[in-house]
Structure 1
Amino acid sequence: MREENQSLRELLARQQEQIAELVKRVATLEERLQKNSSNSSKPPSQDPSCHGIFD
């Protein structure tokens, strides 16, 4: 039982680390999605609305 508990604790710790990394990654990707030609150095042709993504 103790070995199983230890294994589960280790699994939980790894999953918590993975979740933290994924949360950071999602935040970074969401930030990138918010950028457009008016608030970054991207040209207007790279704006999402130019491609019909958000239309």
Structure 2
Amino acid sequence: MAAVRIAAHAVGYPSIALATVLQFELWMRQKDAVGEWEPADDVDQGGITYKKTGG
């Protein structure tokens, strides 16, 4: 964990360092620390959505 944190800071990704530390110290799963990305159903949709809307 410490090596990942140091390497992330060295290449300019402090958010990865923070997520790694939170994941390790709080016993979180990776998807709980950084979220879960899934492909959109509609290719033209774009953006960020919260749950599926519409019917």
TM-score where L is the length of structure 2: 0.27
**Larger RCO (alpha carbons 8 Å, 6+ apart):** 2
Determine which structure has the larger helix proportion and give its number: 1
Query: Whose radius of gyration is greater, 1 or 2?
Result: 1
